[in-house]
Amino acid sequence: MHNQIFTVGLTGGIGAGKSTVGRVFETLGIPRFDADKYAHKIYSKEDEVREAVVERFGIEVAIIDEEGNASDIDRLKLSAIVFENEKDLEFLNELVHPVVRKGFETWVNRIPSNIPYVIREAAILFESGSEKGCSFVINVSADEVHRIDRVMQRDNWSKKQVVERMNKQLKEHIRIEKSDFVIFNNPEDQILNQVHQIHSKILSHR
């Protein structure tokens, strides 16, 4: 067991398919920390974070339990608010990111020392500064039309909603420039071969 391990960041814009790619790495025996999924659980687990969100955005963003207490946060309602206001989004990121970072560190400490590297998956890897703790970064990329279609089907969003969210994220060309590897995930692309090639390159640079 150890406090540090070779870490590879995995990111990509909404609908690019980074979680699909992450699961392929898992089939190769590479553990994956899903920062976005971990962040989703913070509101129900961390009282201080939940209370801060309710205080900032109002009780209407809370999920109320049978006893009348705020037990969780309605992420759709919260997202509708914060993505319209840059200061609100900044507040939320500063509140949540340190907790996610601590969660990753705790998770890493449980990884056996014989594991060659781990995947740190996050939609806002660069925006949160998490890439600084990564030896390599992989960006998952797909054409905009396919990304929009995937999110519309997955989340039952309108095209307008998806495009608005995409416009709030880091531009694709910037994400690619900042990454060491790019995996293309359009319908005609074979992600399995791409993952295997990158996996081999990472192992050779260890």
**Sequential DSSP letters for 140-171:** EE--HHHHHHHHHHHH---HHHHHHHHHHSPP
Query: What gap in Å lies between CA 195 and CA 124, rounded to an integer?
Result: 21
Q: What's the confidence (pLDDT) of residue 84?
A: 82
Per residue in 158-200, pLDDT (tens digit) is 999 999 889 989 999 999 999 999 999 999 999 999 999 999 9
How many other CB atoms are found less than 10 A from the CB of residue 187?
8
Per residue in 32-48, pLDDT (tens digit) is 999 999 998 999 999 99
Cβ-defined contacts of 22-26 (< 8 Å, 24+): 22/119, 22/121, 24/191, 24/192, 24/195, 25/119, 25/195, 25/199, 26/119
**One-letter identity of residue 188:** E
Query: What gap in Å lies between CA 38 and CA 42, rounded to an integer?
Result: 7
β-sheet bridge partners, residue 120: 9, 33
Per residue in 47-70, pLDDT (tens digit) is 999 999 999 999 999 999 988 889
Per residue in 131-159, pLDDT (tens digit) is 999 999 999 999 999 999 999 999 999 99
Span 78-105, mean pLDDT?
91
Span 96-106, mean pLDDT?
94
Q: Are 9 and 125 in contact (CB under 8 A)?
A: yes
β-sheet bridge partners, residue 9: 120, 137
Span 71-97, mean pLDDT?
90
Higher per-residue confidence, 4 vs 20: 20
- Across all residues in the chain, what is the average pLDDT? 93
User: Where are the domain boundaries for CATH 3.40.50.300 in the chain?
Assistant: 1-31+111-206
- Give CA separation, 2 vs 119, 141, 156, in Å: 16, 33, 42
Confirm whether pTM is higher than 0.85.
Answer: yes
Q: What's the confidence (pLDDT) of residue 2?
A: 47
CATH node for 1-31+111-206: 3.40.50.300
